[in-house]
Chains A and B, each alone.
Chain A
């Protein structure tokens, strides 16, 4: 699904991003983060650490007060055509699928993104089929989102951005509210996608399962960056940033 980008360019390069909300509250204090192509990275952090604020910078919904962001070598700028391309490259899956799926049928919703890119007719239908097949939801294409289970809705939400053939897929709390089976099914789907992945979560076992590398964001700063197993093994580090492993979980690969 990745195309037209030289393979040496990182999918995502965030340099010294600072952001202050209009009320003066500083949410990001200079964030640096580089994600190589095809990498799967977990962005960990407690509530209020600035995770969602950072995510909204990646596709130019929020504009950094200082610093720069490039996606596949293309800088995020407030220019209309540039923003359209950036939003194609950065596929954000929001936490609540009911926020993402706003059209009356699954197929129409999946078609919304690629149609905004100018696709029509058979090309558009092919994109929709491809994206729905990737998340195993082809049979549900004509159903209404509110008639699907929560797990199915989250998978369709992933398809809505896959249909834009993103450079990087950004998932906000992908495992929240899923039952164990749906959680596992989503993990299987995400692992099979040939796309760079940035997963925002505080579900540490899920990060361990899916991502080799993790970064911890706390109080608007990246405070740790390394192999997921190392980070999760450092109990003191986790405790310092209000992160905890579920009691019986041990970060040792089978």
Chain B
């Protein structure tokens, strides 16, 4: 059963590739294992980073995800790696001259380390997001024995996000219709009050949803309805393991060589 039907998110690229067809739990496990291998690599092993980038490129090609898309979406990491750009200037120890600036060698290594590993991690996550619907992500986490409370919260968020956004939008239209025009920070009173109202409504809705669940025999645990169907086979696990295994080999070699 295509459990994910109708649950595309902004990052999801609809296609029918071998990567799309892999069960979500395999892709999640592969993504995490790959990232761990990348992080464990000594920072001086530049060739290893190149090998990882090559792996990402191969998977992207298999998943029919274009490189420009991958590169533009990587911009998300910018706020997190800004600190890396400061490292060469504030780092201590031996310094080199480049473009008329005195830069710390230690800092340059540090910046490269954060930037390269961060980017590889973001790419791996983007590939997972581009090939897996939100619904499948939750199903995958569930099959990986992620605590049910977390998957349940994620499921509710997935279901009610649109309802809440719709409510917020209607409240905003009603506010604007009565002449509210918050252009400046000090005019945000109406907006702030709206947030409060929205919270109360969400709270009340939560109570009604819970009553409706009780009425259908809910006893505090979600019945495992479809988890059994379509879980990954050994073959699929093996296919999914190729990328993290290769990455692991690269990491191990890099550790031995340095």
Query: Which B residues lie within 8 Å of A145 (CB)?
Result: 159
Residue contact A143 to B225, C-beta cutoff 8 Å: no
B135 within 8 A of A: yes
Contacts of A90 in B (CB 8 A): 215
Q: Are B159 and A116 in contact (CB under 8 A)?
A: no
**Which residue from chain A places its CB closest to the CB of B226 in the assembled complex?**
A108
Q: Mark A95-107, 1 if CB is under 8 A from B, else 0.
A: 0101111111101
Contact A102 B211 (CB under 8 A): no
Contact partner of B5 (CB less than 8 A), chosen from A99, A113, A117, A142, is: A142
Q: What range describes how many residues of A lie at the interface?
A: 35 or more
A213 at the interface (CB under 8 A from B): no
Enumerate A85-122 residues with CB–CB distance to B below 8 Å.
Answer: 87-88, 90, 92, 94, 96, 98-105, 107-108, 111-113, 115-117, 121
Q: In the complex, are the beta carbons of B217 and A104 less than 8 A apart?
A: no
A160/B216 contact (C-beta < 8 A), A99-B208, A104-B7, A144-B7 known: yes
B225 near A98 with CB under 8 A, answer no
Q: Distance in Å from the Cβ of B206 to the closest Cβ of chain A? A: 9
Task: Indicate if the CB atoms of B155 and A113 lie closer than 8 Å.
Answer: no
List of A residues within 8 angstroms of B218 by Cβ = 112, 116
CA A105 – CA B135 in complex, angstroms? 9
- Let me know if A87 and B159 touch, CB within 8 A: no
- Between A88, A94, A112, A124, the greatest number of chain B beta carbons within 10 A of the residue's beta carbon is seen for A112
- Asked if A105 and B215 sit within 8 Å, CB to CB, the answer is no
Chain A residues with Cβ below 8 Å from B138 are 104
Q: Which residue of A lies closest to B158 (CB)?
A: A104
Which listed residue (B6, B209, B217, B224) contacts A84, Cβ 8 A? B217
In the complex, A80 Cα to B214 Cα: how many Å?
Answer: 12
Q: Mark A139-170, 1 if CB is under 8 A from B, else 0.
A: 00011111100000000000011001000000
B209 touches A102 (CB 8 A): yes
**If the complex has contacts A61-B211, A87-B217, A94-B212, are A147 and B6 also in contact, measured as CB distance less than 8 A?**
yes
Contacting residue for B6 out of A56, A80, A112, A142, CB 8 A: A142
Indicate if the CB atoms of B216 and A96 lie closer than 8 Å.
Answer: no
- Chain B 219-245: CB-based contact to A (< 8 A → 1; otherwise 0): 100011110100000000000000000
B100 at interface (Cβ–Cβ under 8 A)?
no
Which of the residues B5, B7, B215 comes within 8 Å of A61, measured between beta carbons? B215
Q: Which residues of B contact A (CB under 8 A)?
A: 1-3, 5-7, 135, 138, 155-156, 158-160, 162-163, 205, 208-209, 211-219, 223-226, 228
Cβ contacts A to B, 14 pairs, < 8 Å? A61-B214, A84-B217, A84-B219, A87-B214, A94-B211, A98-B205, A99-B211, A102-B159, A104-B7, A104-B159, A105-B3, A111-B223, A111-B226, A124-B225
Measured CB to CB, the residues of A under 8 A from B are 56, 59, 61, 80, 84, 87-88, 90, 92, 94, 96, 98-105, 107-108, 111-113, 115-117, 121, 124, 142-147, 160-161, 164
